[in-house]
Each structure stands twice: as C-alpha cells, then as structure tokens.
Amino acid sequence: MNDNRLGTAVSPYLRLHADNPVDWREWGPEAFAEARERGVPVLVSVGYATCHWCHVMARESFADPEIGSLLRQDFVAVKVDREERPDVDASLMAAASAFTQQLGWPLTTFLTPEGHVFFAGTYFPPTPVGQVPAFRQILAAVLDAWTERRHEVDANAAAIATAIRQGAEADATARAAEGADGADPSPLARPARRSAGSATHRNRPEGAHLPSVDNIRAVTGQLSRAEDTTYGGFGGAPKFPSTPLLEFLADAARDGDAEADGLLDRSLHAIRASELTDADGGVFRYATKRDWSVPHYERMLYDNAGLLAVAGAEQARGIADFLRDTLRQDDGAFVAAQDSESTIDGQRVEGEWYRRPLSERALLEPPPLDDQVLTGWNGLAIRGLAIAGDRHDDPEMIGLARSAADALLRSHVRDGHVEVRSSTPRGPSAAPATVEDVGLLAEGLLELALVTGEVTYAVTARSLVDDGLANRFDVDAVLAGAGTATGEQPQTAMRSGTVALAAAAAGLAALTCDSAYRTAAARLVADRATTGTERPLGHADALGVALGLQRPSREVVVVTSDPHDPLRDAVRAARRPGTVIARVTPTQAAEWATAGFDLFEARDALDPAAYVCHDRVCALPARSAGDLAAGLAAPAA
C-alpha cells in the first residue's frame, strides 16, 4: 500500500516525489515517532527541485517498485528540501562528513529513531559503478547492521551526535566569550548598549579578535598563488563562481589593493566570456571542466544575485535581465532557480534547451522553475540589484529591488519580523525562519534604503537585525531532541546569513550612532574571518566585513532634492570597506532622524549639501561635487 504523503507539500521538490512507490514522509517528529514505534531506521533523502542528480536518483531508484517495497517494509522514508529546510540540511551534512568528503546532493542519510545519523552518502546508482555500491546494496547493508549489530550502530550514531553537539557548543562559547561581560551567551545575542567614547577611532570594535588588516590583505597573495592563470578563476574542475570570494576581492580592491582588483577583473571576465554565462545573461551553477566549459546547467538565484554585487555594467545588466525575465513573479519576488533539465521531443534531457540558440528556445518548453520564494535569497537579490543599480546608474535594477522588497514585506514579514521563510503558489511553508532569512533580508533592505532614501526599509532592517542578534529563531524539534542542531554552516556558494547580519549591524552602528551594533558585528564574524585568512578558497565570506570593521568608520550623507544633482554622482566612488553612504532629500533626512537614525539629525536644513564624517565627526558640508571630492580624499582627522 502506498501511503506517500507529499502530494500536498508546499515544496516543489517534495511534490516531485509524490508519485514514487516510496511512502515518503515530510521531516518532523511524527516520522521519528513512527520509526520508534516500528523499531526501524529512518532514511532521510535531501535534495532540491532543480538538482540534476537528484532527478537521476529519483528516476533510477525511488521510482523502482522493488526499492519502494524495501523502504516501506524496513524503513521510515523522509524527504527534505534543502532550500526549505537549511537547518536540517546543515545538521545532516555535518554528520555525513564523518562518512564521505564528497558532500553534495542528493544527500542520503540513515538515522536512528532518536535522530542520530549512523551512515550517509550522496548519489547511489541502481547498479554498482566502480567503487560506488548500488542503492539496493546500501539498503541491505544498513538493514543488516541495524538488525545484527545494533550496539555498533547506536554507539557510532551517539559518537557522531556528540561530536556535532560539542562543536556547536564550542562555537557558541567562543563567540559569547568575545562579547561584553554579562551578555547573553547565545552566539547571536546583542551585547549591552555602551557609549560611543571619544577617541578618533573609538568605533573600532572591542572584545572580538578580528584578524588584522595586514592578515586580511595577505589573503590576496594566497589567492594569487591559487589563481588558474590559464583559464581564470581558482583551482581546477569543477569551477564555481564562488561569489563570496569575489565579493572579498571587490572589497579589497576598493580598499586600495591593486592585486585584488586584477584578480577580480580576470575572474569576472572568465565567467562572462565562458559557457558558464548563458546567452540570455543568466549564470549557471558551475562548470564541470577547468576551462569553464560544460556547465552544470541549473541556474540559481543566489549565484546570480551574488554576482550582481560585483559585476561590471554589461555583466550586471545581463544578469538583471535574466532575473527579470525568468525568475521574477508577477508580484515582484524572485523564485529560487531554473532546472537543468527540460522536455524536448518527449524526452527529459539535461542542458539541451540551453545549448539551442535563443530563437530556437522560444519555440520549446523551457526548463521548469523551482517556484519557491525564499526570504533570504530574495534579500540577496534585493541587495545585488540595489548595489548594481546604484553603481551603474541603472534605475530599472533599483526598481526590481524595490518591487521584490515590497513583495517580501507584504507576504513574508509581519510587524518587522520574518514570519515566512518559504512560500509557493500553494501557500507558505511551515519551515521556520533562519539566520539566512533574517540576515540577508536585513542587509538587502538596508542597502535599498540607502540607495532610495526611503527610511521604511531601514526601520524593518533594524528590527530584523535586532531579531538576529537576540537569536530569535526556533530550533527544529527533532534536531533539538537529538542535540544535533548546528546553526548556519560556513558558506562557499553564497553570502552567509551570519555575515550579512554582521554587515547590516555594522551599517546600523553608523546610521544610529549606537556602537553596540558594531561590537555585535565584530563578534559575529571574528572566528569566520580568522578561518578565512587561513583557508580563503572555502571561507572568504567574512573577510570583507572584517576588513571594514578594522577600518575607521566613515559616513557620507548627500542631501539634495534634485535627483540629478552632481553630488549624487560624486559620492559613488566613495564606497569602500568601513564607509556607509546615504542619499536623501531634505524631507527624507528628517524622516530618518525621527525614526531614530541619529546620523541624520539636523541634516535637512541645507539643500544641496554633502556631509563627510569620520567616526561621526563631520567636516563642514560640501555644497559642490568638487568640494565633496576633496572631502572624500581627505584623511580621517
């Protein structure tokens, strides 16, 4: 009897498996309670809707009636969408690393009814391939161990769970120790408010052990040695865009590092000129070959959004066109991805649609979309579009950012708090919001507020940052009971929520004149940045934020009612680590001040005027683009 329960799921990935002969369950306490009652292990299979090898394993294994029968009889089978449940994916990935270093999706894990992983792998074929056993063999071996060597299974599972728990506790303890005395020990807890002090560089964070500027700048040399000087980018095959790494290079370049500027330019050129960039401007997830050829054809919102923040004008325009024409919903929000596979001549094939000329594509059914609207990923897109739109003077990009923000604020945010992590046309998911959602949306809204001058976005961003720093997140019941909740893991493919939360907090410190935000930001990124100086290819996401926190803060406010005032253009070149730039009308300046953003106090009297402040100590207002340029060039007092 088939009792598959995925037909009503919100997740598009889960719904793809609704017709399998497997009695799939969604992740939750009920599935593990059933396993305890039956005395059987739990198979948890993790993937996402546009994952090619997830599709392959579904066709080869999960659609097989014999395998379905085995799973119904001897296991409780659970499907997880990693995009919907990044908390579950992170925990299972941490456990899976005990069994294989070739981590990825589909992720195949076997758990005890207590929620502890005792075996894991990735894709398993229907028949053995080289050293990779068939999925049937895996199921047989797992069942044999479960029934004949249960004490070993339980011992191994407990050891892995203990290692995960100790690692998470060590991280929490270390981060709490770096905060102010008496602070909440939570790694995201906001420290007590403290006065700004009086020294010129009083705003450099205290307590957190950030790597020095010299250590951060030395990372560029490591990356130069790792650069593929033949084809561009870093390392061999497969080649990823690695947008957090590119963002660090952009930050370092704006900080005056010419070597970083060259690395960034060559990497972006390689991506733009290769098969990784499609004819319509969208960028694929990665290339399977060292020369950036033979893409893995799925196209993710997060890769493209991340590239927007660093790309040149032509490249950014192409990516924005792809987001607008392919991933954008009618309400302005962006869906998660476009599939690698499409149906051509009745056959499901990978990549063929993308290999056709654009004129031919228009006559064919396009690859399907992963129609989840993810709060965090949309925050990343809002940020990328706002940055690119401002840098390249492209109002349409800023409009796309604004419409996405408005859509999220209508449907995913309530009273300044993220209420919905994921939604589809079938409704909102019950998955809890994570630091990814809060941090990335806060950073995106704050960037949009600074570009448009609209304080309402900043007010919501401040509320979200306060939620994140207070660690207002629900811990999944199964992970909590098992003691295996890991929190967010270091990111290599996209900007992490923790880093985004830190960046938003640092921005709020400048805008509110509350140095507690800056102290909290440093605490959040200190350990990550230190790791990044040692292993930048996989852990670069915090380096740019750390660099900005080590620099004296600089605030630039342009006040003008003329949208074409030369002051607005002159300030673009001022963007660098440690600098916050805002453009407002006199009316908007008054609104920011009323909302508690003290940087804007008494900034509504002159029009036009530009204020250059170092650690909130401001020079006389500049009234022309030339005076502003001179003020920006002047060193901190």
CA–chain centroid gap for 423, Å, is 17
Confidence at residue 204, expressed as pLDDT on a 0 to 100 scale: 53
Spatial contact of 574 and 632, defined as CB atoms under 8 Å apart: yes
Amino acid letter at 412?
H
Going by DSSP bridges, is the β-strand pair 347-350/341-344 parallel, antiparallel, or unpaired?
antiparallel
d(CA 390, CA 406): 19
Going by DSSP bridges, is the β-strand pair 417-418/413-414 parallel, antiparallel, or unpaired?
antiparallel
CA-nearest of 112, 138, 123 to 45 is 123
* 129 vs 75, higher pLDDT: 75
pTM (2 d.p.): 0.93
- Convert the pLDDT of each residue in 345-356 to its tens digit: 999 999 999 999
Confidence at residue 165, expressed as pLDDT on a 0 to 100 scale: 84
Which residues, 6+ apart, have CB-to-CB distance to 46 below 8 Å?
80, 81, 82, 88, 89, 92, 105, 106, 107, 108, 109
- Convert the pLDDT of each residue in 229-252 to its tens digit: 999 999 899 999 999 999 999 999
Tokens representing 396 are 């349409």
Confidence at residue 68, expressed as pLDDT on a 0 to 100 scale: 95
Confidence at residue 131, expressed as pLDDT on a 0 to 100 scale: 85
Q: What is the mean pLDDT of residues 166-194?
A: 41
CA-nearest of 500, 433, 509 to 472 is 433
Q: What is the mean pLDDT of residues 583-600?
A: 98
pLDDT reading at 341 higher than 50: yes
Lowest mean pLDDT among 131-140, 329-338, 628-637: 628-637
Task: Give the chain's radius of gyration (CA, Å).
Answer: 25
Burial class (CB in 10 A: 0-12, 13-18, 19+), 221: exposed
Spatial contact of 453 and 582, defined as CB atoms under 8 Å apart: yes
Decide: helix, strand or coil at residue 77. Answer: strand
Q: How confident is the model at residue 169 (pLDDT cuts 50, 70, 90)?
A: low
Total Cβ atoms within 10 A of residue 587: 12
pLDDT reading at 505 higher than 80: yes
Which residues, 6+ apart, have CB-to-CB distance to 362 below 8 Å?
none
Q: How confident is the model at residue 615 (pLDDT cuts 50, 70, 90)?
A: confident
Mean pLDDT of the chain: 91
Backbone φ, ψ for residue 243 (5° rounding): -60, -35
pLDDT reading at 495 higher than 80: yes
DSSP state of 617: E
Burial class (CB in 10 A: 0-12, 13-18, 19+), 16: buried
In angstroms, the Cα distances linking 63 to 42, 141, 383 are: 19, 21, 41
- Convert the pLDDT of each residue in 45-61 to its tens digit: 999 999 999 999 999 99
Torsion, CA 45, CA 51, CA 53, CA 57, rounded to 10:
40
Confidence at residue 205, expressed as pLDDT on a 0 to 100 scale: 57
In angstroms, the Cα distances linking 591 to 461, 595, 596, 597, 598 are: 16, 6, 9, 9, 11
d(CA 191, CA 185): 10
pLDDT reading at 490 higher than 90: no
Confidence at residue 179, expressed as pLDDT on a 0 to 100 scale: 38
Total Cβ atoms within 10 A of residue 265: 14
